[in-house]
Amino acid sequence: MQQVMTKLDRFTALAKKAVNFDKLPANVKAQFDNRAANVFCFNDLKDQEINEATAKYYLAAIID
C-alpha cells in the first residue's frame, strides 16, 4: 500500500506542476488533491509508470 500512496503523491505533484497550480481558481485548488486521487483510482494507475506525460494526459479529468 505504501507504494501506491507514493505513486499517487507523485501523480498529484506532477499534475500540479503541469497545470501551474498556483494560478488556478481557489475552488479548483480546494478540490484538486481529491479529484487527482479519484482519477488515479478510477483509471487504476497504480501499476502504470507515473511521469509527466501520464499526469498531463489525465489533467483534463482532474480540473474539468
Q: What pLDDT, on the 0 to 100 scale, is given for residue 29?
A: 94
Q: What number is the average pLDDT over the span 42-59?
A: 93
**What is each CA distance from 19 to 11, 31, 39, 42, 54, in whole angstroms?**
12, 14, 15, 20, 13
Residue 23: what pLDDT?
Answer: 94
User: DSSP labels for the chain?
Assistant: -HHHHHHHHHHHHHHHHHHTGGGS-HHHHHHHHHHHHHHHHHTTGGGS---HHHHHHHHHHHH-
- 25 has pLDDT over 70: yes
